[in-house]
């Protein structure tokens, strides 16, 4: 088996902690008993997939959410609720990414949208003083809304392998969703599912110790 030379991280719930219950609470506060109906309507429309792959502008996306019910919601209310999904990224994860980059190529591959990407950029500056976190901690960053592809579609993994000029058998991908990891494995990339009980720091330290 080829030695690992490349590590590809998912972002949310792997490196950056998310809080799905917080966003559910925020949306419930805005929509009340209309929430489930609105969510079903939005999922059926494919709006989340479109926004994550750059098929909708942020303004269009916010308007779709704002008008999903007959409640008089403002764009600001929608954006604030949408961004409550984030908890944070502990400092020690940044430090170990730098250590990993001394031995491996390190990449970020995330299904993400413009609103969330902008929130993360602002968070990095506000909480960690980082204006260059992408280039400082990763050899390349692949955001779904920018490359217009998303996991678990096969094409996004093929894109990353070709763009980064890396070999699948020399690469490992870690994601919190089984379907995303399985899709990577089908291309020969080694995969790890990040479960809630898994300590990502222990996994990263293991790569440093064992090579």
pLDDT computed for residue 71 by the predictor: 83
Residue 129 pLDDT exceeds 70 = yes
What mean pLDDT value characterizes the chain? 94
Q: What is residue 211's predicted lDDT score, i.e. its pLDDT?
A: 61
Label residue 1 by pLDDT band (50, 70, 90): low
Mean pLDDT of 99-117: 97
Amino acid 155: pLDDT: 98
**pLDDT at res. 39:** 85
Residue 125 pLDDT more than 80?
yes
**Residue 102 confidence (pLDDT) above 80:** yes
- Averaged pLDDT for residues 122-136: 96
Q: What percent of the chain is modeled with pLDDT above 90?
A: 79
Please answer whether residues 54 and 148 qualify as being in contact, where contact means their C-beta atoms are separated by less than 8 angstroms.
yes
pLDDT digits (tens, 9 = 90+) for 31-89: 888 888 888 888 889 999 999 999 999 999 999 888 888 888 899 998 999 999 999 99
Domains of the chain with bracketed CATH? 6-16+89-210 (3.40.50.1000), 20-85 (1.10.150.240)
Question: Is 15:179 a contact under the CB 8 Å cutoff?
Answer: no
The span from the CA of 89 to the CA of 96, in Å, is 12
CA atoms 23, 28, 31, 33: torsion sign: positive
Residues 7-33: tens digit of each pLDDT: 999 999 999 999 989 988 998 888 888
Name the token pair of 164: 């980064």
Angle at 76 between CA 22 and CA 65, to 5 degrees: 70
Give the three-state DSSP class for 17.
strand
Q: Given this model, what pLDDT does residue 2 score?
A: 75
Coil, helix or strand for 57?
coil
Predicted confidence (pLDDT) at residue 178 exceeds the cutoff of 90: yes
> Which pLDDT score is estimated for 209?
86
């Amino acid at each position: 088996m080829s030695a690992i030379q490349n590590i590809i991280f998912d972002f949310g719930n792997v490196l950056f902690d998310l809080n799905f219950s917080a966003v559910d609470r925020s949306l419930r506060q805005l929509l009340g008993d209309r929430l489930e109906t609105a969510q079903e309507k939005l999922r059926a429309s494919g709006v989340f997939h479109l926004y994550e792959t750059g098929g909708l502008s942020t303004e269009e996306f916010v308007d779709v959410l704002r008008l999903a019910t007959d409640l008089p919601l403002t764009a600001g209310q929608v954006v604030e609720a949408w961004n409550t999904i984030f908890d944070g990224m502990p400092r020690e994860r940044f430090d170990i990414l730098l250590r990993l980059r001394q031995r491996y190529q390190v990449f970020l591959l995330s299904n993400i949208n413009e609103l969330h990407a902008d929130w993360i950029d602002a968070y990095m500056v506000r909480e960690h003083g980082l204006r260059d976190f992408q280039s400082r901690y990763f050899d390349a960053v692949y955001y779904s809304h920018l490359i217009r592809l998303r996991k678990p579609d096969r094409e996004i993994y093929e894109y990353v392998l070709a763009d980064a000029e890396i070999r699948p058998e020399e690469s490992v991908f870690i994601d919190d969703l089984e379907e995303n990891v399985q899709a990577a494995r089908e291309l020969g990339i080694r995969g790890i599912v990040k479960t809630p009980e898994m300590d990502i720091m222990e996994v990263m330290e293991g790569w440093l110790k064992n090579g």
